[in-house]
Structure 1
């Protein structure tokens, strides 16, 4: 597998994020059922944002990860202030 760390930045007070959260979580649940989610959740510092770690078939690249994550309602509806996607090497892992 090839792993990617996806970080989202958004305002913790965003009504659009609150509205879209159920649809976003359905998207994440689908990826989890397909075996593409390693972990996902919001940051708890009160600043807004989240981390999503995805797993794609060996040899996948950033374009593959970006294409997958472009389907997230948060991204599609433009509620993110920023999104980064980086290849991640899980040196130590429990999954």
Structure 2
């Protein structure tokens, strides 16, 4: 298993994001409990987010996030997964 940094870019619709945010966070909390998700949170002004995911490939990392209500409701404009090779420090659960 490897660690992937997944970057979400959201659509410009704060109301829709707010509507589905509780369900989105519940889903991510479940992925955290499963050990799939290690960290998650918004970047800067909230128009993007970074999620740290454990998977075998970038494609699998994105597939593991396919159940995200934000994806279902089409509030994610773009998703990119890149392998993150941690060389200093340690991620517990990775």
TM range (shorter): 0.7 to 0.9
Q: How does 1:1-95 map to 2 (within 5 A)?
A: 1-11=1-11, 13-43=13-43, 45-46=44-45, 48-56=47-55, 60-95=56-91
Give yes or no for contact 1:11–1:47 (8 Å, CA) kept in 2: no
Structure 1 residue runs of 4 or more that deviate by more than 3 Å after TM superposition:
none
SS at match of 1:38: strand
Q: Which stretch has the larger CA shift, 27-36 or 9-18?
A: 9-18
- How far is the alpha carbon of 1:14 from its aligned partner? 2.0
- How far is the alpha carbon of 1:25 from its aligned partner? 0.4
Give yes or no for contact 1:8–1:83 (8 Å, CA) kept in 2: yes
Structure-2 change in CA distance of 1:94 and 1:80 (3 Å): same
Give yes or no for contact 1:36–1:55 (8 Å, CA) kept in 2: yes
**Alignment root-mean-square deviation, CA:** 1.6
Name whichever structure is richer in strand by fraction: 2
- How far is the alpha carbon of 1:63 from its aligned partner? 2.1
- How far is the alpha carbon of 1:55 from its aligned partner? 1.3
Q: Which stretch has the larger CA shift, 4-13 or 31-40?
A: 4-13
Q: Distance in 1 between matches of 2:36 and 2:87?
A: 18
Q: What 5-or-longer segments of structure 2 have no aligned partner?
A: none
Count, aligned residues: 91
